[in-house]
Each structure stands twice: as C-alpha cells, then as structure tokens.
Amino acid sequence: MTPEEAPRASPADAIVRKDLAELLQLSWPVVLSRLGIMGMGLSDALVVGRHSAEQLGFHALGWAPTSVVVTMIVGLLSGVQVMTSRAVGRGDLIETGAVLRRGLSYGFWIGLACSALLVVGGPPFLHHLGLAPALADGATRPLIIFSVSMPGYAISVAASFWLEGLGRPKPAATMMWVANAVNLAVDLVLVPGAFGMPALGAVGGAWATAVARTFLATALLVYIARMPDAKAHGVFSKPEADLAAETEQRQIGYGAGVSNFFEVAAFASMNVIAGWIGGLAVAAWAISLNVIAIVFMVPLGLSTATAVLVGRAYGARDFQGVRRISWIAFAVTVTFGVLVSFILWPAAPFIAGQYTSDLATLGMAASALVICCLFLIPDALQVVCAQALRARADVWIPTAAHLTSYVIIMIPLAYVFAIPLKLGVNGIVWAVVVASFVSAGLLMARFRYLNVRGR
C-alpha cells in the first residue's frame, strides 16, 4: 500500500489526538508537582516511622487536623487556576495578573486565619476525641508546628495554580522538588537527632515540613517576579476593582474548598476511628493512607490539567471542546487506575515493609493496601470529573456529591465496619470503597446530564 493509499485520520480523530497530547503534556509536570506534595509527607513518614512506630502515630494524628485545612486551602484557591485558564482562553493576558494578585492576597489571609484557628483549637480538639491521653499529648506539638506554616503554604498554592493556569506547570514542579530536598535534609537532621542534636521524632518531621513550605513560597514568588513576560501578564499592575470577577473567583473556591473539607475531614476522621482501635492501628492506617495518597496525586494532577483545558475551552465558549476534553481525561484516568491496581495488589506487603519493621503493624497495613486496590479507579475518576464540572461553572453539585459520599455514607460505615463488626483497619478501607463508588457514580451522572442539556 502506497502512502497515498493508506487510510488517513479523520479531522475528528486528529483533534482527539491533539487534545490527548496536550492533556498529557500538561499533566505530567502537574503530576510531578502533586507527587512532590506527597513527597514531603512520605519523607516525614519514612524517617519518623523508621525512628519509631509510636512517633509515626503522633505524627499522623498531628497531621490529621491540619490535612483538613491544607486541602480546604487548595480548594479555596482553585479559582486562581480556573479564572487564569479562562482569561487565557479569551486572550486577556493582563487579566491573569489581576487573578494572581487577588489570589495571593486572599491566600495570605486564609492561611493566617487557618494558622490561628489550628493553634488555638487544635490541641483541645485532639484531647476531646476519646483518644488515649498519651496519643493526644504526643500529637499536640507536631500539630502546632504544622499550623504555623499555613500562610506560606497558601501563598505557594496560589502561585503554583497561577502558573498551571497559564499552562506553565514545569517551574512549579521543579520548585516543589527542590523544596522536597530541603524537607528531607531537615528530616534527617532533626528526627533522629544528627550532629549531636536531640532526637525530635514527630516534632522534627513537622519542623521539616514548615521549613520546606516557607522555602517553596519564596522561590515561586521570586520566579514569577523574574518572568520575562511578567509585565505583559499584569503581575506588577494594580488591577482595577472588578467585583464580579472577584466574586466569581471566590465562589469557585468556596465550592471546591467546602468539597475538599468534607472529603478530607472524613478521611481524617478515619484516623480517629483507627485511634479507637489502638496505636498500632493508627500507624497501619497512616501507612495505607500515605501510599494511596501518593497514587492519588496522579489523578489529582490529571484533574488539574483537565480543569485548565476545560476552563480554556469554556472561556472560548467551545462547548464541544469542553465535552471532548473531559471524556478523554476520563479514559486516561480509568486506564491509570486499572494499571496501578494490578501493580499495588501483589506488591502490598513489600510496600508496607518499607514503612515499618513492626510485624503487627506490617500485617494490618499490607492487608488494608490490598483492599485499597478496589477503590483506586472510582476514586481517581471522581476527582477528575469534579474538576471538569467546576471548570464548566458547575460549582456546588460536586460539593453535594462529596458530602453525601464521604460524610453521610463513609464515616458511619467506617465506624460500624471497624468497631462493632470488628474488621479493624480493613473495615475502614471497605467504607472508603463504598464511598468512592457512590461519589464517582453521582458525579458522572451529573456530567452526563449537563451534556444532554447542551451545557
């Protein structure tokens, strides 16, 4: 067959391939950046866990309340990413600078308020959860240290989202991994007590995270200020008051922030249920959650790339493109979930063994990781679908879906499975499986409904 006789791809196929290539090109640095976020947690967990299983429990419980706030901050600032990509779609570069400046100011005040709330309310919260007093006491100091880094963390999120909204995720990913190197270096010094220093355990891990977050925020701001086209993007221009744009940017964040709060608060409550089982159960759940959270960074990165491309198409009023890009992203997400499930299932004992040498903890964590494989696909799909919906201006339905799935369904099921039915940590994971399928089903149904209505 000559080249002239070979079948040629249709224009529609060419568009799909172009969108797929753009999605993957944008996704991989975002995925690396999100993996970098988990890299800090992984470094802390590995170094602290190798130092002491008990200290790992303290670290996990101290992290749990702050993880709710951290993820809520990410949601509240998601308007930066969506509004930036829409402005790019309209060809309005100066407006992207206005989005950034609003995001940085908003992020600083959000971070400051969250820091104050956690420092004042976090320790009493831990001591009123019915945990053993030693567990609550051991988790208090790490919680306070995690809390003081919230303003810097929020600023780094706003700056990263702005770069991603521009379609430039690589600088943010690079800075994130440099921050990881800083985090690991501080971990190795403070946790075991190197160079004659006292071993700080969980407290040292918390200080490592605080130092790394501050470094990341500073590095990103310096990079943005030194961008050759920073002036063209309005970075140094004081934007005119635009109440409608300011309100929409905050509203996008409200929906995502409340949604993230529901989901992560529900997962953090799993630490409490594990604490009611015992200290080693907390460590086993922490290992399982850490591994799954690392895997989750890939669909989270895909969801970010999906939101940027869908937001760009929505800003250009290309509704066919909105639907096409979303379905391509869903297909990539499901493929990833299938592949990782088949890898994680047989490797669960080996992976759990990298976190701890305690045989009881290792057995619980390995068993839980095998069950986790059952929810990787729906959990990945629901986060990508939620971001696609928000990028097309459907803000509150994803929030309602997450409330239903992870609060109303998952929390009671986890308690019943783990405590009265005596399934332990495995019972917690089975509750997550059920909630993930419900969330994915609700969100995909909503997406289909909007397609039928032509939105």
- The pTM for the full model equals 0.77
What pLDDT, on the 0 to 100 scale, is given for residue 317?
A: 77
| Residues 371-392 pLDDT 10s | 999 989 999 999 999 989 988 8
Q: What is the mean pLDDT of the chain?
A: 85
> Which percentage of the chain shows pLDDT scores above 70?
97
Residue 6 lies in a domain: no
| Residues 106-136 pLDDT 10s | 899 999 999 999 988 878 887 777 767 777 7
What pLDDT, on the 0 to 100 scale, is given for residue 2?
A: 53
Residue 4 lies in a domain: no
Amino acid at 72: M
Residue 270 lies in a domain: yes
Residue 57 lies in a domain: yes
Q: CA torsion 22→26→32→33, rounded to 10°?
A: -170
Residues in the chain: 455
Beta-carbon contacts of 280 under 8 Å, excluding residues fewer than 6 positions away, are: 53, 57, 358, 360, 361, 364
Residue 20 lies in a domain: yes
| Residues 2-13 pLDDT 10s | 555 545 556 777
Q: Total structural domains in the chain?
A: 1
Structure-token pair, residue 150: 């919230």
The Cα 95–Cα 316 span in angstroms is 15
- 341 vs 135: which has the higher pLDDT: 341
Please determine, for residue 245, whether its predicted confidence score (pLDDT) is greater than 60: yes
| Residues 174-191 pLDDT 10s | 999 999 999 899 888 887
Burial (0-12, 13-18, 19+ Cβ within 10 Å), 4 = exposed
Residue 3 lies in a domain: no
State the chain's maximal CA–CA distance in angstroms: 78
Residue 7 lies in a domain: no
Q: What is the mean pLDDT of residues 76-100?
A: 86
Which structural domain range is residue 442 located in?
13-453
Nearest CA among 309, 344, 347 for reference residue 326: 309
Residue 107 lies in a domain: yes
Structure-token pair, residue 162: 């702005």
What pLDDT, on the 0 to 100 scale, is given for residue 408?
A: 93
Measured between alpha carbons, how far is residue 187 from residues 110, 180, 184, 207 in Å?
27, 10, 5, 8
Please determine, for residue 454, whether its predicted confidence score (pLDDT) is greater than 70: no
The Cα 30–Cα 19 span in angstroms is 16
The Cα 414–Cα 225 span in angstroms is 47
Structure-token pair, residue 146: 């995690």
**CA–centroid distance for 235 within its chain:** 27
